[in-house]
Structure 1
Amino acid sequence: MNKYLLDENKFDDFYDLYLYSFNRQPSQQRKNVLKERYEQSLVYGIMNGKKLGSGLFSIPFEINFHGTNFRMNGIGDVMSAPEFGGRGGASTLLKTALTDMYHNQVTLSYLTPFSFGYYRQFGYEQVFDHTKITVKNNDLPRVSQTDQGYIERINIKDISDNLKKIYFENNHLGGLVRSKWWWDHMLDKHSNYQVALAFDNQRTLIGYLIYYTQEDKFIIHEWINMSPLSRQLLLKFVTKHQSIFSTFIYESPDADFKSDVLSNPYSARVEVIPYMMARIVNLKDFVSRYPVQKMQLAKIYFRVEDSLEWNQHTWALAINDGIVDFKIADGHKADLELDIQDLTKAMFGYRTLNSLAEYGRIKGEQDKISALNQIFVKNKPQLIDYF
């Protein structure tokens, strides 16, 4: 058994370290929510005498990446007690978690960084951005009333399987395939959230809005539309709150704001916020099952630099009628060289290989770089969830 894995008897120690490390106040709800994550995760820790010195969660998930599901472990609550800091505890736990992921056939890992530089040491790279849109109540757009469809408002505890189905059908750019326990966990964690449901005249659910309020702010957490009618109904619902709240905020997982659809683009303050990082844990599996964008590719040899020894190789990649052939080819001269972070950005569609080459991030033959670039998706990834 891994000596760093914690069993259920260590939960109170983990909870105490969590409260101290993140300066949280104890509450029964906070403890219950953390216990849910604890029970579903691989939990790692290093003892410092009789107290827990460092700890982290490795949470098993699945993600939908352009129609292909991959196993992904989310790293969360990375923490060390101040008196135990600087001893490499968190680093040891993260390296151990990555090794365990590989042996457990986990392909990818995501995390929320406290420092991008720190996690880049472990092969993680920024691939998710959010767009934070802030609008004052007197700048909200005018939305025409429609006699089609209607809105129902419910507590988040009452969401239906139909809503979950809409999320599932609109989540294919690297977001979570939410399992039952994660939905339940979200509902417990955000018990004060509310939901607006958009229906058409046939009582078919066509969109939803998850939101909460905070003092004078109306804050949209999640917004999915299946049709223009859904967008109109839900936007009208939001604007009807302008006499109650002075500020409206939506942090969208889509980094493309689309300001041109507003009658007055100056009315919104827009911030693109770096969100979460990703890491390719098992390059062999990710490339072999990747949703390639070209059916043919003449063999290309590329060298990948990575701290994970099973990824650090010269690889040979060829595609014939959409069938991917991806093998280790150490000893063969590489057509191009790149590190795992830049390969992650390219494969996730965050930045193209050609762009990375322009910034001097990739060495090699330009025609080979361009050819490899063509097989990768170009839509930027999107992630709503947080852990």
Structure 2
Amino acid sequence: MEIRQLKQDEFEQHLELSMYAFQYKLNEEEAERSRQFFRPERVWGAFENGVLQAQLKLYPFQTYIQQQSIDMGGIAGVATWPENRRQGLVDQLLRHALQLMKEQGQSVSFLHPFYFPFYRKYGWELYAEYMQYTIPTGLLPAKVQTDGHIKRGVRDIELLHSLYSQYASQYNGTLVRDTEWWQHAILRSDDTRTAVYYAADGQAQGYILYTVLNKEMNISEIAYTTQEARRGLWTYISNHDSMVQHVKLRAPLDDGLPYLLQDPRIEQQRVPYFMARIVDMKALLEQYAFEKEIAGELTIEVSDRVADWNEGVWRMVWDTDGKATVEQVAAGDAEPAAYDVQVKADIRVWTAMLMGYKRPTELARWEQLQADEQAIQLLEKLIPNRGTHLMDFF
């Protein structure tokens, strides 16, 4: 079995396996468009006698973590032919991808799982959820007068990107977008409508991306930099009350919409979404923006049976600028009892904690984190309390 990147002339094999595994069909025009955007260097396959048996895509992304851009490997399109399943092909591809991401400096990885337990075996953990709201028009927020105005049909990527970046960087785990991603993933469909809120001074302060079809308004993104823009955008949404019967919206867990509604009895669903994994523990810790004005050190133990370079005992020393230096003091096969380990956890737990999805106190209460009370409180002070969100899909 050979593990390698695909070649340009292997597009048909790639597409055939993708359509079979994910149960979709492209017509000739759609297939040709897919061929144009095919990046063979981003697709890794398991080949036998030159025939593709399994594959995955590895995207070179960046993500916001504690308001910094961190290199991230996005895994997608993991597929294998049914006759090849349970033969370890995906196992080989995932292990190869982890090694490759480490070499490329991608200290974290994200993916959308087909089955959470499968990827948890390889060290990925749930990190992003979202709220799905369905709001009847009669329960939409009250319309309010603002000093600004709305402009529809704005497709100025530079403008939208600026607003998105200000909003998205408030969360951990959002995607750092580029122009290509805006063109081919966000604004690709002509059905996607836009509306931008401008303040009285002409400054853009927020936007929504949405569709209106069959008396339903579906909002895929709402982003704003001021509360005035939030009010203005919701007034614009409510002005569709004669056109639609209800509004659907995806929002971060902390958006507070039910509280802000006169009647919060709307349909609400909390949806588990993406998983994350620390690829390189040392690299992430040394990139991480811890809280400032706190200096000290911790000795931690990391369990990682798949990426063995993370396994072992590490000493982390940080300064008052919130920057840490990390050194390994015992490899995974050493006897950790010889060291004064203050915090022990599996790589999945470290991922949930450092991504900001779960707090140290919570993890300790659920017996996921082994640490004394002093170490737990130190971690609580060190790790900024910033929630997670993801507005994209790949």
TM-score class, shorter:
over 0.9
Match of 2:281 in 1: 283
Match of 1:159 in 2: 156
Match of 2:363 in 1: 356
- Within 5 Å, give how 1:329-340 maps onto structure 2: 329-330=329-330, 332-340=339-347
SS state at 2:164 partner? helix
TM-score (norm 1): 0.92
1:346 offset after TM fit, Å? 0.9
Contact 1:127 1:348 in 2 (8 A): yes
CA distance in 1, matches of 2:311, 2:220: 39
Distance 1:102 1:20, change over 3 A: same
Match of 2:76 in 1: 76
Match of 1:367 in 2: 374
1:215 offset after TM fit, Å? 2.6
Distance 1:189 1:79, change over 3 A: farther
- Within 5 Å, give how 1:300-315 maps onto structure 2: 300-306=298-304, 307-315=306-314
**Structure 1: runs of 5 or more not aligned:** none
Match of 2:333 in 1: none
Contact 2:6 2:41 in 1 (8 A): no
2:272 is aligned with 1:274: yes
CA distance in 2, matches of 1:216, 1:116: 34
- Between the two proteins, what is the percent identity of the paired residues? 24
Return 364-373 or 283-292, whichever deviates more.
Answer: 364-373
Return 229-238 or 36-45, whichever deviates more.
Answer: 36-45
- Can you list the C-alpha shifts for 1:208-232, whole angstroms capped at 9, x where unaligned? 1100134332100111122233222
**Amino acid in the other structure paired with 2:339:** H
CA distance in 1, matches of 2:239, 2:316: 55
**Amino acid in the other structure paired with 1:20:** Y
1:269 offset after TM fit, Å? 1.4
CA distance in 2, matches of 1:255, 1:38: 37
Contact 1:336 1:365 in 2 (8 A): yes
Contact 1:347 1:377 in 2 (8 A): no
Match of 1:231 in 2: 230
**Amino acid in the other structure paired with 1:338:** A
Contact 1:5 1:45 in 2 (8 A): yes
1:142 offset after TM fit, Å? 2.3
SS state at 2:60 partner? strand
CA distance in 1, matches of 2:384, 2:350: 12
CA distance in 1, matches of 2:33, 2:324: 42
1:33 offset after TM fit, Å? 6.0
CA distance in 2, matches of 1:170, 1:303: 35
Contact 2:215 2:244 in 1 (8 A): yes
Match of 2:175 in 1: 176
Contact 1:295 1:319 in 2 (8 A): no
1:50 offset after TM fit, Å? 6.0
1:36 offset after TM fit, Å? 6.1
1:258 offset after TM fit, Å? 4.2
Distance 1:213 1:258, change over 3 A: closer
Distance 1:206 1:256, change over 3 A: closer
Match of 1:252 in 2: 251
SS state at 1:385 partner? coil
Distance 1:312 1:214, change over 3 A: farther
1:130 offset after TM fit, Å? 0.4
Contact 1:131 1:257 in 2 (8 A): no
Return 67-76 or 201-210, whichever deviates more.
Answer: 201-210
2:389 is aligned with 1:382: yes
2:272 is aligned with 1:265: no
CA distance in 2, matches of 1:231, 1:244: 21
CA distance in 2, matches of 1:309, 1:360: 23
TM-score (norm 2): 0.91
Over the aligned positions, Cα root-mean-square deviation in angstroms equals 2.1
CA distance in 1, matches of 2:72, 2:388: 15
CA distance in 2, matches of 1:222, 1:240: 18
Match of 2:98 in 1: 98
Contact 1:196 1:208 in 2 (8 A): yes
Match of 1:319 in 2: 318
CA distance in 2, matches of 1:149, 1:324: 44
Distance 1:235 1:358, change over 3 A: same
Contact 1:151 1:196 in 2 (8 A): yes
**Structure 2: runs of 5 or more not aligned:** 331-337
1:67 offset after TM fit, Å? 2.5
CA distance in 2, matches of 1:376, 1:90: 34
2:296 is aligned with 1:298: yes
Distance 1:228 1:36, change over 3 A: farther
1:94 offset after TM fit, Å? 1.3
